[in-house]
Amino acid sequence: MFACPAEPAAEPDPDCNEHVPVLLDEVLEYWITDPDGIYVDGTIGGAGHAAAALAELGAGARLIGMDRDREVLARARRRLSAYGDRVDMIHANYAQLEHALDPLLRGRISGVLLDLGVSSFQIGDAERGMSFMHDGPLDMRMDRSGGTTAADLVNGADVEQLAEWFRRYGEEREAGAVARAIVRERTSGPITRTARLAEIVCRARRRHERRIHPATRVFQALRMVVNRELEHLEAGLEGALSVLAPGGRLAVISFHSLEDRCVKHTVGAHRVRWLSLQEGGVRREGLMPPVKWITKKPVMAGDEERHANPRARSAKLRVAEREPGEEE
């Protein structure tokens, strides 16, 4: 594997295939309200959160697992097979959450969990091309049944577009220099491997940040564009709120500021606020369905978990509860 010039000290490698669920105790504490309720894990992944929730829930509870990645879903199905027909699995994008569920379940869901991003299983599989740590085809799609790959973007987009993506989705300060280097390099042949892209990015950047690999931000940006992550997140949050029962909870774990901001604003727009009117009386503000925050500030991992699981260092959990009120 190519080593960046002046590469910062390596982080513990989070790319092992065993996915360790983050903020597990906190999710169980905040998410589960009805021991016999119906729960939707919209990002079932390695089923770590789901397995722990099922172990706590009563015999009357049901769990519906969803993932846009078929391979991940098949693994989760195997892991939870002991729960029989208490568990259903749906291959779907959570952006379609309300349509993917049985319409009879609308308004009856006790909890929806969205644990954003990708699992260690996906990052650790070189063939998916999501990581600069393993050489593989420059793909990055979570759902490989169709859509644009990272190679399509890197070889097809112009300098301005690439720089805009790196700036917006990677918060990459040297976005222009990296974009220009990519466009220059691809004249000698298309960029089709993760190692080659990582090498180009490393050479193009003049400043290296402490504790993060120089290609981290560019890889994150491309993955977000390939999988249209923020767009789907916003739709998924709205869909999740629309299926919750009154008193049901939406728990979201985000891993970077763009995701967290999206959660805060999209869900926050449903928060009920009462405005005093000059002429007397009050007016209710906030989108339907109404919610209240259960977590006033995002919940973060404690020292022990941050030390044991590097992914947990940037994890933020926000939980909102559906309040009684008319449907949209």
Ligand X SMILES: C[S@@+](CC[C@H](N)C(=O)[O-])C[C@H]1O[C@@H](n2cnc3c(N)ncnc32)[C@H](O)[C@@H]1O
Q: Is 245 annotated as a binding residue?
A: no
As a whole number of angstroms, the distance between CA 218 and CA 205 comes to 11
Nearer to ligand X, 46 or 129 (CB): 46
**Footprint (CB under 6 A) of ligand X, residues 2-21:** 19, 21
Nearer to ligand X, 102 or 160 (CB): 102
Nearest to 323 by CA among 114, 27, 107: 107
Q: Is 48 annotated as a binding residue?
A: yes
Q: Is 47 annotated as a binding residue?
A: yes
Binder of ligand X out of 37, 117, 124, 239 (CB under 6 A) = 117
Binder of ligand X out of 119, 149, 194, 266 (CB under 6 A) = 119
Cα 298 to Cα 118, 150, 257, 260, distances in angstroms: 20, 32, 12, 9
| By CB under 6 A, residue 94 contacts ligand X | yes
Nearer to ligand X, 51 or 175 (CB): 51
Torsion of CA 48, 136, 200, 181, to 10 degrees: -100
Helix (H, G, I), strand (E, B) or coil at 180: helix
Binder of ligand X out of 38, 39, 40, 45 (CB under 6 A) = 45
| By CB under 6 A, residue 37 contacts ligand X | no
Question: Closest separation between CB of residue 171 and ligand X, Å?
Answer: 20
Secondary element (H or E) of residue 30: helix 24-31
At 62, list the tokens: 């049901």
Nearer to ligand X, 93 or 194 (CB): 93
| By CB under 6 A, residue 125 contacts ligand X | no
Question: Closest separation between CB of residue 130 and ligand X, Å?
Answer: 10
| By CB under 6 A, residue 101 contacts ligand X | no
Nearer to ligand X, 94 or 165 (CB): 94
Binder of ligand X out of 112, 118, 222, 267 (CB under 6 A) = 118
Part in contact with ligand X (CB under 6 A); list of ranges 28-36, 61-69, 189-197, 268-276? 61-69
Binder of ligand X out of 23, 30, 40, 49 (CB under 6 A) = 49
| By CB under 6 A, residue 223 contacts ligand X | no
Length of the chain equals 328
Which residues, 6 or more positions from 197, have their beta carbon under 8 angstroms from its beta carbon? Answer: 132, 138, 150, 154, 182, 191, 215, 218, 219
Question: Closest separation between CB of residue 70 and ligand X, Å?
Answer: 10
Biggest alpha carbon distance in the chain? 71
**Footprint (CB under 6 A) of ligand X, residues 237-276:** none
Q: Is the peptide bond before 35 cis (omega within 30 degrees of 0)?
A: no
Q: Is 67 annotated as a binding residue?
A: yes
At 101, list the tokens: 């569920």
Question: Closest separation between CB of residue 266 and ligand X, Å?
Answer: 14
Given strand 87-91, what is the order of strands in its sheet? Answer: 87-91, 62-67, 38-41, 109-115, 244-254, 316-322, 291-293
Part in contact with ligand X (CB under 6 A); list of ranges 47-55, 154-162, 202-210, 213-221? 47-55
Strand residue runs (E) in 162-290: 244-254, 273-276, 282-285
Per-state percent for the chain, helix, strand, coil, to nearest 5: 45, 15, 40
How many degrees, rounded to 5, is the angle at CA 56 between CA 42 and CA 242? 30
At 29, list the tokens: 């504490």
Q: Is 312 annotated as a binding residue?
A: no
Q: Per the annotation, where are the binding residues?
A: 47-49, 67, 94, 115, 122
Residues annotated within a binding site for S-adenosyl-L-methionine = 47-49, 67, 94, 115, 122
Q: List residues near ligand X by CB under 6 A.
A: 19, 21, 43, 45-49, 66-69, 72, 93-95, 115, 117-119, 142, 232
